[in-house]
Amino acid sequence: MATTLIKKGRIVTAVDDYSADIVIVDGRIQTIGKNIAVGTDAKVHDANGLLVLPGGVDVHTHLDWEFGPTHTVDTFETGTKAAAFGGTTTLIDFCNQTAGKSPLVGLEDWHKRRASACVDVGAHMIMLDVNDQSLADMKTLVKREGVTSFKLFMAYPGVLMVDDGALFKAMRVAGANGAMTCIHAENGPVIQVLVQEAVAQGLRAPKYHATTRPSILEGEATHRAICLAELAGTPLYIVHLSAGEALSAVTEARDRGIPVHAETCPHYLFLTAQDYDRPGFEGAKYVMTPPLRDHNHQQHLWRGLKTDDLQVV
Amino acid sequence: MATTLIKKGRIVTAVDDYSADIVIVDGRIQTIGKNIAVGTDAKVHDANGLLVLPGGVDVHTHLDWEFGPTHTVDTFETGTKAAAFGGTTTLIDFCNQTAGKSPLVGLEDWHKRRASACVDVGAHMIMLDVNDQSLADMKTLVKREGVTSFKLFMAYPGVLMVDDGALFKAMRVAGANGAMTCIHAENGPVIQVLVQEAVAQGLRAPKYHATTRPSILEGEATHRAICLAELAGTPLYIVHLSAGEALSAVTEARDRGIPVHAETCPHYLFLTAQDYDRPGFEGAKYVMTPPLRDHNHQQHLWRGLKTDDLQVV
Amino acid sequence: MATTLIKKGRIVTAVDDYSADIVIVDGRIQTIGKNIAVGTDAKVHDANGLLVLPGGVDVHTHLDWEFGPTHTVDTFETGTKAAAFGGTTTLIDFCNQTAGKSPLVGLEDWHKRRASACVDVGAHMIMLDVNDQSLADMKTLVKREGVTSFKLFMAYPGVLMVDDGALFKAMRVAGANGAMTCIHAENGPVIQVLVQEAVAQGLRAPKYHATTRPSILEGEATHRAICLAELAGTPLYIVHLSAGEALSAVTEARDRGIPVHAETCPHYLFLTAQDYDRPGFEGAKYVMTPPLRDHNHQQHLWRGLKTDDLQVV
Amino acid sequence: MATTLIKKGRIVTAVDDYSADIVIVDGRIQTIGKNIAVGTDAKVHDANGLLVLPGGVDVHTHLDWEFGPTHTVDTFETGTKAAAFGGTTTLIDFCNQTAGKSPLVGLEDWHKRRASACVDVGAHMIMLDVNDQSLADMKTLVKREGVTSFKLFMAYPGVLMVDDGALFKAMRVAGANGAMTCIHAENGPVIQVLVQEAVAQGLRAPKYHATTRPSILEGEATHRAICLAELAGTPLYIVHLSAGEALSAVTEARDRGIPVHAETCPHYLFLTAQDYDRPGFEGAKYVMTPPLRDHNHQQHLWRGLKTDDLQVV
């Protein structure tokens, strides 16, 4: 029985702010209070003048992940170590179904890869094939495997995108089993038209990544995802929301009491499409999807954080 | 030179209401005024105590048209005769591209069929195949053939529906050539899921036509059509709008100054989904797409007519 | 019987655009048509290559009017002459009740002053005292005198402003008698606080006219006027709307089908609060109420004109 | 040093739910944890199987208060005893300025009356006279007396109502000193017109209390309060919100990030204006201001609670 005492820290949580000692036994908090006595074998940290915070939760990571010809730089070992140094003690990582295989196989493979993690790790499941078997597997994932969120793509036709019918089917199964549906919300087919034209015209500089994925197409897809989720009866979570139009759709739905949630990311709050114009290869470092937006979108995002229409960064 | 005099009618137009004589020479109005004298060979109609109105325009007809296994009852001869008796002197009828053929062929065929019309008839072109050739043909239709509106379907996957990428391409060509895009706005893929399930469960009574095409899916598709039209730069016309959600999307766009228009139909204003419950085959007579809606949608439609968010019945 | 022929002009009305001759007998149009023959004593104007337009209507003029220590520069003679030169053939001028007297007396006085007018002139009645007698007089004004619109002020406390109770009473009488209520919509009491403070601080330059009448107070009063009019059952007309917030309130009401109308003025469309900074006395020439606004309000006003939420300039 | 141990309760707070012991020393929580040992002189409560909750806070009470000819039934003694039995351990009560006197005098008097309270009690200050002295007193109340919220009335002209200018002045002082402004939001002058008419017509049954205070007048005043608070820079708190129109105004402001809050009350959530029709004196028991509303308002209120546009019941 290993005992740790954190003394006299200023404990700040989502709702409280006070000074106290914390006693941890075998990795779990046992007691919080004033002037707690422990045995001489306890490990003692003096937190006087320091903040003591709950560990952070990062709900959107891709560790040790292949996406087309690329592989993420971070493994679970390096990624979770970095997280721990920053005070993030829980990750929810994206694992994925491989087309043609069961999502359960994808989860099994993910469990192998995440073995080297040094903080708590949970999984969202990315669904690529929606059919009778994979819909049944979704139920198994929720009930047996503890995977309670499923991500689907409205972008990347022919690669990750599922059509609206498949999306709706998956949403219903998620809803019926108490799970959440996460959506990458951009109109893939229209973006594909714009991208193919830009490429055909030789417009391949980083800035065309932004012009071929206009914000209105994120707004459109977000609205569509909300309509389908409302009909299907699933809570919805929009990942990496970047556009004012998309936030408007989320706000409107939340005002009606529909269970819609959304996250944005630091880059959308602090960077803009002008960063694509940086010289040399610098601009290419800002290529992400959805792309960076014009400055006016940032004002909407900050508003959304203030009014709780965006719940996660 | 045939002269007709319509005497002393009460002339009511979109903006005026006054009494006067009208002289028509060779089928065109030549003079409007008080107490006009004409030659003795003129044909004179005494319209004293009668209203004299401009001829009506019906912008949405399907005459002599095949749709799947069905064929419209009315030919151009019978349909336009009926129109004339009701005071409708211009129709804009839907002609269509046949999949795999040029829309110009469809127009040629339509011209043959419409030869028996007894009132003025114009054409909207329904686009089924969107490819480089048919997009070029759209321009020819506008510039040479006087066809200035194109209709595309977001419903009926595998039959009439085009995907969002094709829809967007056609919208851009329409916009660039000063033409209007007409949309049948329902989310086809999700409706297909609902219909297939209902059929599989043996739910084939007329009322399931309504439950498998919920109003939120018309609202979704209408919003999507507006986003794509805004991006493509085309004026938009939503045909047979039936749902409050769809009207909200139109209203929101018009409030922002986007050129979006919409029509509704008498059946959506006066009938409801309860009519599907009529006994025997009676309910089946009300099967149309979009389906009849609940009563509360009617209130929205009447509001839309009042505030000019709906422009056409 | 004096006859005038206007030949071959291009006639453009709210709905038509065509070429024709117009015959006018004793000041009224008698006939419109092609190649009309007239007697040799007729006065003939050749309008070939010219536009022939209906006379304009200016629904908001103050001619020969005292307001506090000032008197309008234009009399009915000079003002209507200027109007006629510009093609405006009808004015609706504001006549007013004097506090403590019947509005019928105000109308009588106005009739004397307007005798020198050279175009058609109608009257709105400004109500200052709302009491049982003046409310009864309102009915007389509508039924006997043909005055069908009443203006009340929510600004200028102690001078022109009526309180909300009086405003509501007048609105109900207007509504019950088929008349319209016109409102100067600014929150007078709060503006008075801001003005008195600015004056006390010696801030008397023209620009402080704008800062002491912020746009949100026009938006507030417009919203309040709409609520009261909706409850009272009167059509409402907001005069000289200048602020985006006010237009939002009008748009929202019109979208619900409430009979609310509004005018804006050329100066709000083309000038901004920066004009108050012009050197010398120049800035003072732009002092009007509501004041000139920042540039972003202009975008809202142009949008309102485009979408018919503003009906009059 | 008095020690109390609450053993093995299920502790439920706004964010946590877990089982633990709580040690209280001299009325304050000292330690929370598993299996805590205390001295034999400690008072021990076994909470096994019971919920242990933080004490409730009721932010809207009127104890020992005169309002016109009436006096509240509850004194601080009886009212706080009742509160304690229900688990409410903190009240924020309304104390008031007497017209013509300083609010500091009102607070002094309130402190005398609240001496008999058996739970924690704080004060909101009701402002009736807004003048230079009372505005200065507001600052003293915040900085010296710990009164950080001020209530003003837009209803009850001649009794409690302040005009918009005074309201705005008080809001600015509140905002500048970090205090909150609480508003009773109904349009007093228009209601007075309706009430006087009803009384003159002998319509004095309880139901006329509701018809003379229509919901649109609460919506109007709420919108006005929000505009003035936004301009004045004060956080706003709408007390006893009952109407859908009022909630819409709050929602719209919160969506824009304006610091507006609102409470509703159980009677608005569970009773309707039909309760005024109860026989005999029963209907009169439901006379409160704002009045009970029609059923459709309840749906809006429940929506507001769900989406956090209403924060307090």
Amino acid B286 reads Y
State how far the alpha carbon of C25 is from the alpha carbons of B34, C29, C31, in Å. Answer: 10, 6, 9
- Nearest residue, CB atoms, D251 vs list A13, A23, A255: A255
Where does residue B89 rank: exposed (0-12), middle (13-18), buried (19+ CB within 10 A)?
middle
Taking CB atoms and an 8 Å limit, are D31 and A34 in contact across chains?
Answer: yes
Taking CB atoms and an 8 Å limit, are C189 and D230 in contact across chains?
Answer: no
Q: Which of C99 and A116 is assigned the larger pLDDT?
A: A116
* Nearest-CA distance A132 → chain D (Å): 35
Q: How many CB atoms lie within 10 A of CB C283?
A: 17
**C-alpha span between C121 and C91 (Å, rounded):** 5
Where does residue B171 rank: exposed (0-12), middle (13-18), buried (19+ CB within 10 A)?
buried
Taking CB atoms and an 8 Å limit, are B192 and A165 in contact across chains?
Answer: yes
Chain B environment of A157 (Cβ under 8 Å): 165
Chains contacting C with at least 3 CB pairs below 8 Å? Answer: B, D
The percent of chain A in helix, strand and coil, each rounded to the nearest 5, is 40, 25, 35
Band the pLDDT of C240: cuts 50, 70, 90: very high
Q: Give alpha helix (H) positions in D235-310.
A: 244-255, 266-270, 295-306
**C-alpha span between B222 and B181 (Å, rounded):** 13
Taking CB atoms and an 8 Å limit, are D227 and C220 in contact across chains?
Answer: yes
Structural contact between residues D33 and A24, judged by C-beta atoms closer than 8 angstroms: no
Taking CB atoms and an 8 Å limit, are B231 and A217 in contact across chains?
Answer: yes
**DSSP H helix total and E strand total for chain A:** 10, 14
Give all strands of the β-sheet with D149-153 in edge-to-edge order. Answer: D56-61, D88-96, D120-126, D149-153, D180-184, D236-238, D260-262
- pLDDT for the residue A70: 87
Judge if the upstream peptide bond of residue D214 is cis by omega within 30 degrees of 0: no
State how far the alpha carbon of D53 is from the alpha carbons of A79, B178, C162, D22, in Å. Answer: 39, 68, 53, 12
- pLDDT for the residue B280: 84
Token look-up 């009930």 returns A143
Q: Which residues of C235-256 are buried (b: 16+ CB within 10 A; e: fewer)?
A: bbbbbbbbbbbbbbbbbbbbbe
Which residues does B contribute to its contact with A (CB < 8 Å)? 157, 163-166, 168-169, 187, 189-190, 192-193, 214, 216-217, 219-220, 223-224, 227-228, 230-231
Taking CB atoms and an 8 Å limit, are A257 and D303 in contact across chains?
Answer: yes
Judge if the upstream peptide bond of residue A290 is cis by omega within 30 degrees of 0: yes
Nearest one of D251, D248, D235 to D297, comparing CA atoms: D248
Could you tell me the pTM of the whole model? 0.87
- pLDDT for the residue C67: 78
Instruction: Please check the confidence at residue C99 and state whether its pLDDT lies above 90.
Output: no
- Nearest residue, CB atoms, C33 vs list B30, B303, B308: B30
Task: Give the pair of three-digit tokens for residue C226.
Answer: 């709409």
Which bin fits A151, alpha (ψ -120 to 50), beta or left (φ > 0)? beta
Chain D environment of A30 (Cβ under 8 Å): 33-34
**3-class SS string, A255-310:** HCCCCEEEECCHHHHHCCHHHHHCCCCHHHHHCCCCCCCCHHHHHHHHHHHHCCCC
Nearest one of C223, C218, C219, C212 to C273, comparing CA atoms: C212
Amino acid D163 reads D
* Nearest-CA distance C33 → chain B (Å): 4
Residue ranges of chain D with pLDDT lower than 50?
none
Which residues does C contribute to its contact with B (CB < 8 Å)? 13-15, 23, 30-34, 36, 251, 254-257, 303, 306-309
* Nearest-CA distance D188 → chain C (Å): 8
Q: Which residues of A37-75 are buried (b: 16+ CB within 10 A; e: fewer)?
A: ebeeeeeeeebeeeebeeeeebbbbebbbeeeeeeeebb
Structural contact between residues B297 and B244, judged by C-beta atoms closer than 8 angstroms: yes
State how far the alpha carbon of B313 is from the alpha carbons of B90, B267, D76, in Å. Answer: 15, 10, 66
Amino acid D303 reads R
Chain B environment of A169 (Cβ under 8 Å): 193
For β-strands B120-126 and B149-153, DSSP reports them as: parallel
**C-alpha span between C66 and D107 (Å, rounded):** 51
For β-strands D88-96 and A43-46, DSSP reports them as: unpaired
Chain A environment of B171 (Cβ under 8 Å): none
Residue ranges of chain B with pLDDT lower than 50?
none
**C-alpha span between B216 and D250 (Å, rounded):** 27
Task: Give the pair of three-digit tokens for residue A5.
Answer: 């005492």
Chain D environment of C258 (Cβ under 8 Å): none
Structural contact between residues D9 and D50, judged by C-beta atoms closer than 8 angstroms: yes
For chains C and A, having 3+ Cβ pairs within 8 Å is answered: no
- pLDDT for the residue C280: 85
Phi, psi (5° rounding) for residue A3?
Answer: -115, 135
Average of pLDDT values for C210-215?
97
Chain D environment of C224 (Cβ under 8 Å): 187, 220, 223-224
Token look-up 């006003």 returns C301
- pLDDT for the residue C58: 96
- What digits encode the pLDDT tens for the residues C23-66? 999 989 999 999 998 888 999 999 999 999 999 999 999 999 98
Chain C environment of D163 (Cβ under 8 Å): 189
Taking CB atoms and an 8 Å limit, are B307 and C254 in contact across chains?
Answer: yes
Greatest alpha-carbon pair distance for chain D in Å reads: 74
The percent of chain B in helix, strand and coil, each rounded to the nearest 5, is 40, 25, 35
For chains C and D, having 3+ Cβ pairs within 8 Å is answered: yes
Residues with Cβ within 8 Å of residue D76, at least 6 apart in sequence? D63, D64, D93, D113, D114, D115, D116, D117, D121
- Nearest residue, CB atoms, B227 vs list A164, A189, A216: A216
Q: Give alpha helix (H) positions in C144-206.
A: 164-176, 188-200
Best A161, A163, A190 residue to mutate vs chain B (most B CBs within 10 Å): A190
What's the number of CA atoms in the CB half-sphere (13 Å) around residue A259? Answer: 13
* Nearest-CA distance D231 → chain C (Å): 8
Q: What value does the mean pLDDT of chain C take?
A: 95
**Nearest residue on chain A to B229, alpha-carbon basis:** A216
**C-alpha span between B282 and B301 (Å, rounded):** 25
Q: Roughly how many angstroms between the first and final C-alpha of chain D, as a whole number? A: 37
- pLDDT for the residue D15: 85
* Nearest-CA distance B38 → chain C (Å): 12
Task: Give the pair of three-digit tokens for residue A100.
Answer: 């043609």
State how far the alpha carbon of A87 is from the alpha carbons of A45, A61, A80, B49, B260, in Å. Answer: 17, 15, 10, 88, 51
Taking CB atoms and an 8 Å limit, are D32 and A33 in contact across chains?
Answer: yes
Taking CB atoms and an 8 Å limit, are D255 and A255 in contact across chains?
Answer: yes
- pLDDT for the residue B194: 97
Average of pLDDT values for A229-241?
98
Q: Roughly how many angstroms between the first and final C-alpha of chain A, as a whole number? A: 37
Nearest one of A214, A221, A216, A226 to A181, comparing CA atoms: A226
Taking CB atoms and an 8 Å limit, are C165 and D192 in contact across chains?
Answer: yes
Taking CB atoms and an 8 Å limit, are B33 and C33 in contact across chains?
Answer: yes
Which residues does D contribute to its contact with A (CB < 8 Å)? 13-15, 23, 30-34, 36, 251, 254-257, 303, 306-309
Q: What value does the mean pLDDT of chain A take?
A: 95
Band the pLDDT of A173: cuts 50, 70, 90: very high
Task: Give the pair of three-digit tokens for residue C34.
Answer: 């092609």
Which residues does D contribute to its contact with C (CB < 8 Å)? 157, 163-165, 168-169, 187, 189-190, 192-193, 214, 216-217, 219-220, 223-224, 227-228, 230-231
Amino acid B175 reads G
Task: Give the pair of three-digit tokens for residue C183.
Answer: 């409102």
**C-alpha span between D201 and D212 (Å, rounded):** 12
Phi, psi (5° rounding) for residue B232?
Answer: -80, -20
**C-alpha span between D195 and D244 (Å, rounded):** 22
- pLDDT for the residue C215: 98
Chain D environment of C157 (Cβ under 8 Å): 165
Which 8-state DSSP code applies to residue A151?
E
Average of pLDDT values for A307-312?
93
Chain A environment of B231 (Cβ under 8 Å): 190, 214, 216-217
- Nearest residue, CB atoms, A169 vs list B165, B193, B214: B193
- pLDDT for the residue A99: 86
Taking CB atoms and an 8 Å limit, are A251 and D254 in contact across chains?
Answer: no
Taking CB atoms and an 8 Å limit, are B220 and A214 in contact across chains?
Answer: no
Chain A environment of D309 (Cβ under 8 Å): 255
- What digits encode the pLDDT tens for the residues A45-83? 999 999 999 999 999 999 999 877 889 999 999 999 999
